[in-house]
Amino acid sequence: MTSWRHDVSLYISTVSRLTLYSPLYSEKTLQSPTMTRTILNEWFPNTTYPFISNAPMQGTATSKLGSAVSKAGRSGFIGGAYNFLPESPEIPAFDAELTAVRNLLQLREDDVLPLGVGFLTLHPSVSGFLDVVGPVVKRQKPAAVWLFAPDGPLAHERIIPGLKELGSAWKLRVFVQVGNVAAAREAASQGADAIVAQGADAGGHAWAHGAGIVTLVPEIRQMVQTEFSDREIAVVAAGGIVDGRGIAAALALGADGVTMGTRFIVADEAMTPDDMKDTVIKTKDGASSTIKHTIHDDIQGTGFWPKAYDGRAIMGKAYEEYVAGTPLDELKARHQTLLSAKDNSRRIVWAGSAVGLVNSRKPAGEIIVSAGNEARQIIEGLSKGLKL
């Protein structure tokens, strides 16, 4: 088994430069020998414990958010692409975003980028993924690639080993987002380094038939330990986590780290429109104010998702009209009319069931520091209590 220590030399220059100007973490904090470390922290030496990442939300997690999360000593991700046709405008767009990250973090052209990029693999053009995405990944050197939503069991069979081969020089890590144990087993067997166990409380798109992280994370952890004991595979919890309490709980369930989506929707660096950020903040009781359904995509014209997936969003005006019996064609027309007028009042606001715990806008760095400190305090408090 290859030791993580073989990977560190490629990151040293990046980590040292990050600590020079980060107002949130000093070099001493980042490299403290007394700090707990997980396999994710060893793979990504610029990160501190607990390992926290933002979800690679398309259109929301751009270079500003991803670089801010990485500056704060965690693992930033940006949204990549889902259309892999050679002429797809999404390819030069995510390439430009990675270049923007390099500039924001003041890194050299040959430095490994201390963040990852996410891709949806549901488009029919996914067969050309490596041909189109591969050259950009090889040149930009992101630390990780995140894959989600394959339309069929074979979609990632070539992609995962292909990515690891082209990124072997800097030990590129591949994350695969799943919603059940069977999908986690498939991802692990195809070579995934990290399994993102997305629970049913997650906002945005997820497996339509799933479970919460309370059962999903420990069962995936158990499966990985028993069936893939010869490999180091990380488990990342996602869905319903917006603060230190959720992070501490996820770690107790067996996760090596967490990812948060809904909390970062309202980060200052997120590309979410201000009025939609306000909607997230004022929405409470996520159990009754959000719902998983395919109608959200039908209304906004993104109904191309495979049948295995649906999405959780805040129940807004359009959903209320749908329940009242308004025909879909009319709902779509109303949505498009206001969208064309740059009126967001009918837009779908993707958010998880923990939305009621999101109470304020903050810079991403402050969100990270607050959540990380709270998680550590909870873990230390529980540890002291258990020793009594």
Catalytic residues: 205
Between the CA atoms of 218, 224, 225 and 226, what dihedral angle is there, to the nearest 10 degrees? 110
Cβ contacts of 280 within 8 Å, gap of 6 or more:
262, 265, 266, 272, 314, 349, 351, 355, 358
Contact 221, 4 (CB under 8 A): no
Tokens 């997305």 correspond to what residue?
A: 198
Vertex 84: Cα angle to 82 and 87 (nearest 5): 125
Cβ contacts of 20 within 8 Å, gap of 6 or more:
none
Instruction: Kindly give the pairing relationship between strand 234-238 and strand 142-148.
Output: unpaired
Distance CA 198, CA 196 (A): 6
Contact 292, 209 (CB under 8 A): no
Candidates 289, 280, 234; CA nearest to 261 is 280
Contact 352, 201 (CB under 8 A): yes
Cβ contacts of 12 within 8 Å, gap of 6 or more:
45
Distance CA 376, CA 245 (A): 9
